[in-house]
């Protein structure tokens, strides 16, 4: 399989390293520095694009790939305010788009467990959730896309919450009772830690995921890249994993 990498930061490099030991071929490594040097004919030979860039460039990258008929696997976070607009474009043009805020198989099992636990906690009003996410200092968006996905899984299943609320390290205010507080920390060299705690006066219940490296994320993205070609529509890890 021929793969084009959009973005060559920590994740792009880890994916490239894993692909080097396989029969796959990376036909382009696209960064801000060489984006203008990669022409459409070079990209057209790709079977799939794996995109890990920045929120400001994600939609531009998606639209370029969509115009060339290329399947897109993306893990870029921070652009989801445009989700409805972009996915409508994909559907209208019979494109192929796979998105995950986190490609780790373990994290996606946590997503499923999180939703089920929130359903049970809906009948336990003494417990109130809070979420902590910790990443390396190179991660610019906060909270993380993974944290937002966890938060949405809780909010959609818990009648007493309306939304989530980011609590900055310097904030002295307390979160509103009808909001799920998300505390974001940036500590090197943390690949990614997410910890959801249900607190009560009597006890606490906690579920968490701690990544030891980026290998799990990279393997998930590569698995999605092999799964996506030949399919039309918008997909995610729940499709790949049959969750």
Task: Tell me the C-alpha distance between 178 and 161, whole Å.
Answer: 5
Task: Tell me the C-alpha distance between 103 and 235, whole Å.
Answer: 12
Q: C-alpha angle 52/214/132, rounded to 5°?
A: 90
**Is 135 known to be catalytic?**
yes
Q: Copy the structure tokens of residue 240.
A: 């790949």
**Is 139 known to be catalytic?**
yes
Task: Tell me the C-alpha distance between 97 and 86, whole Å.
Answer: 10
Task: Tell me the C-alpha distance between 14 and 52, whole Å.
Answer: 11
Catalytic residue among 135, 173, 219, 231: 135
* Helix%, strand%, coil% for the chain, nearest 5: 35, 25, 40
Q: With CA atoms as reference, report the closest residue to 234 among 110, 72, 65, 6.
A: 72
CA 73 to chain centre: 11
Catalytic residue among 2, 128, 136, 139: 139
Q: Copy the structure tokens of residue 124.
A: 């336990």
Query: What residues act catalytically?
Result: 135, 139
């Amino acid at each position: 399989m021929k793969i084009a990498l959009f973005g060559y930061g920590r994740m792009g490099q880890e994916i490239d390293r894993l692909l080097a030991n396989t029969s796959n071929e990376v036909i382009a490594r696209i960064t801000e520095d060489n984006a203008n040097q990669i022409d459409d004919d070079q990209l057209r030979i790709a079977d799939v694009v794996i995109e890990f860039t920045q929120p400001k460039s994600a939609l531009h990258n998606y639209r370029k790939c969509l115009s060339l008929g290329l399947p897109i696997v993306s893990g870029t976070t921070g652009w989801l305010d445009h989700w409805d607009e972009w996915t409508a474009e994909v559907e209208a043009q019979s494109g192929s788009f796979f998105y995950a805020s986190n490609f780790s198989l373990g994290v996606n099992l946590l997503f499923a467990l999180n939703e089920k636990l929130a359903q049970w906690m809906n009948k336990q009003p003494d417990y109130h959730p809070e979420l902590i996410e910790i990443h390396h200092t190179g991660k610019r968006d906060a909270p993380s896309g993974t944290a937002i996905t966890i938060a949405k899984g809780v909010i959609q299943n818990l009648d007493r919450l309306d939304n989530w609320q980011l609590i900055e390290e310097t904030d002295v205010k307390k979160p509103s009772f009808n909001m799920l507080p998300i505390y974001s920390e940036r500590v090197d060299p943390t690949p990614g830690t997410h910890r959801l705690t249900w607190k009560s006066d009597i006890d606490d219940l906690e579920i968490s995921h701690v990544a030891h490296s980026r290998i799990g994320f990279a393997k998930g993205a590569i698995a999605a890249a092999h799964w996506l070609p030949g399919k039309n529509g918008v997909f995610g890890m729940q499709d790949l994993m049959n969750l």
